[in-house]
Structure 1
Amino acid sequence: MAKCSNSLIGILNFVTLVLSIPIIVAGVWLSKQSNTECERWLEKPVIALGVFLLIISIAGLIGACYRVTWLLWVYLLVMFVLIVILFAFTIFAFVVTNKGAGEAVSGKGYKEYRLGDYSNWLQNRVNGSTWERIKSCLQSGKLCSKFENQFINDSVDKFYTENLSSLQSGCCKPSSDCGFTYQSPTSWTKTGNATYTNPDCNSWNNDPNILCYNCQSCKAGLLQNIKSDWKKVAIVNIIFLVFLIIVYSIGCCAFRNNRMDNYYKGY
């Protein structure tokens, strides 16, 4: 049993070690290729994750294969903390993304989004200077330029049937309740001297660098996108948690067996 548990933990950590290498390489590649603020924020977490997996895998591999009890103890402690953090994050992700959804618009193929529909925690993440960085990211990523090129040949009737993404709907066109007249996907004519109940109507501008990037709907579209991604991440986390718990259990067996072996050798 001792050899079995140590062999299993060694094999599992060898697999994790191998997987950490392409993660580090991907992070370094991102740092070389990144041209926008969008891409730059991602590279450091990716490299950090890869380095963390590499170090913890080496610790587990040496501890299991060479029966280094103290190294296995450190490995199990880190694994336990990681399991707790992942479990807490998974619960947190489900809680903060529980609220908010797109609203169907009569006669339209797309949905529209309202910032107030989302959790307060998420709303606070898209305020002030944070939103300025996000907006810069969306602009440099040419979100609405690609949107315009994709639907430039649409008539107004055809455009209203399109299935737009949450970011396209929130950032690249005005809200339907503004009543603007369609000219092109990113060009709309405002009604003269009209009074709008939706503040986003006043924020809209046909300037390609402005459009609805300052609108509440754009922030809501981003939160909807984040919500969808976090739901997927939470599901992956659950699978990863099951894997970690299995590895942790095997590691505990290896640790216990190493202590027993060391005890009898000392005896």
Structure 2
Amino acid sequence: MVRLSNTMIGVLNAITFLLSIPILAGGIWLRARADGTECERYLAAAFIAVGVFLIVVSIAGLVGACCRVTCLLWFYLVAMFVLIVVLLGFTVFAFVVTNKGAGEAVSGRGFKEYRLGDYSNWLQDRVENNKNWNKIRGCLVDSKVCKKLEDKHETLEQFIKSDLSPIQSGCCKPPTSCGFTFVNSTQWTGTPNNTSDQDCGTWGNDASTLCYGCQSCKAGVVATLKTDWKRIAIVNIIFLVFIIIVYSVGCCAFRNNRRDHRNGGYKQGAYA
């Protein structure tokens, strides 16, 4: 009988292989879409990379454990170790760069407003880079996040009570301090009464302009990243525990393979 640790690694990698197929297929589908946005193409590349990685690693683990191929099992363990280091590093980094910054409540409003200077320097540098921001801005326009807000056809009373997302608050309307007059959720008129805030001069009623060039929009994106990264970091901790357990079992299987090769085969009925 095959050793228990080898059997467990084989089963786990068979499941991983089956799960990686829809991930890879989803990435290829997104990549092949004729009307796909730039954001979808970036997402497709990530799905394809993850799918290919999982397929290669799962095949190495499956064949290495079940067919007693020590070199493949060694490759599998190296890949798993690298994955553990990467996940651990990202988790620690995510908590460090998201440890500061929060939205500011606005008197008489249901939403918060965001200032880029409240967040970590690393996150600020990412969105202040023009090359990065042009890509992010294109994604925001393509996602029609502000068009969806406009389509609600809210009155001023309804709008000021809205619980806007950080991106909607920062990108789809001018800062409250500018003193513009409400027309609809994405249309504001008048002369700004706050000349110290450069966002007041950056705002434009054109659907492709709005506040996409504002510091408040960049702050809204950073605030969203902060929330998402913290959630991912928490999930990573759970995933890391699972990966470390699998890695430990894989080490047992690798030890079994080496012992069996030294002994010229494995003894029937032996378990790890």
TM class by shorter chain equals over 0.9
CA-to-aligned-CA distance 1:69-107 (integer Å, 9 cap, x gap): 121111111111110111001111111111111111111
Which runs of 5 or more residues in structure 2 are unaligned?
266-272
Q: Kindly tell me: are residues 195 and 109 of structure 1, through their superposed partners in 2, closer, same or farther at Cα, counting changes over 3 Å?
A: closer
Q: Which residue of 2 aligns with 1:145?
A: 147
| Count of residue correspondences | 263
Equivalent pair of 1:59/1:75 in contact (CA under 8 Å): yes
Equivalent pair of 2:178/2:194 in contact (CA under 8 Å): no
Which sits farther off after the overlay, 247-256 or 138-147? 138-147
Equivalent pair of 2:30/2:36 in contact (CA under 8 Å): no
Q: Which residue of 2 aligns with 1:253?
A: 252
Q: Deviating runs (4+, > 4 A) in structure 1?
A: none
**After superposition, where does 1:175-214 map in structure 2 within 5 Å?**
175-191=175-191, 194-214=193-213
Which runs of 5 or more residues in structure 1 are unaligned?
none
SS in 2 for 1:210: coil
1:234 aligns with 2:233: yes
Q: TM-score, normalised by structure 1?
A: 0.94
Q: Which residue of 2 aligns with 1:4?
A: 4
Q: Distance in 2 between matches of 1:6 and 1:35?
A: 43
Q: Distance in 1 between matches of 2:218 and 2:191?
A: 24
Q: Distance in 2 between matches of 1:182 and 1:240?
A: 47
**Counterpart residue type for residue 220 of structure 1:** A
Equivalent pair of 1:104/1:112 in contact (CA under 8 Å): yes
Q: Distance in 2 between matches of 1:122 and 1:212?
A: 19
Cα distance, 1:29 vs structure 2: 1.3
1:173 aligns with 2:173: yes
**After superposition, where does 1:66-77 map in structure 2 within 5 Å?**
66-77=67-78
SS in 2 for 1:125: helix
| C-alpha RMSD of matched pairs (Å) | 1.5
Cα distance, 1:248 vs structure 2: 0.4
Cα distance, 1:2 vs structure 2: 6.6
Equivalent pair of 2:27/2:47 in contact (CA under 8 Å): yes
Q: Distance in 1 between matches of 2:150 and 2:101?
A: 27
Q: Distance in 2 between matches of 1:254 and 1:212?
A: 57
Cα distance, 1:180 vs structure 2: 1.3
Equivalent pair of 2:171/2:210 in contact (CA under 8 Å): yes
Which sits farther off after the overlay, 25-34 or 56-65? 25-34
**Counterpart residue type for residue 207 of structure 1:** D
Identity, % of aligned pairs? 60
**Counterpart residue type for residue 241 of structure 2:** V
Q: Distance in 2 between matches of 1:149 and 1:86?
A: 40
Q: TM-score, normalised by structure 2?
A: 0.93
1:161 aligns with 2:161: yes
Cα distance, 1:108 vs structure 2: 0.4
**Counterpart residue type for residue 131 of structure 2:** S
Q: Distance in 1 between matches of 2:39 and 2:81?
A: 32
CA-to-aligned-CA distance 1:236-256 (integer Å, 9 cap, x gap): 211111111011000001111
Q: Which residue of 2 aligns with 1:63?
A: 64
**Counterpart residue type for residue 221 of structure 1:** G
CA-to-aligned-CA distance 1:110-140 (integer Å, 9 cap, x gap): 0101011111111111121221121122112
**Counterpart residue type for residue 224 of structure 1:** A
Cα distance, 1:191 vs structure 2: 2.7
Q: Which residue of 2 aligns with 1:125?
A: 126
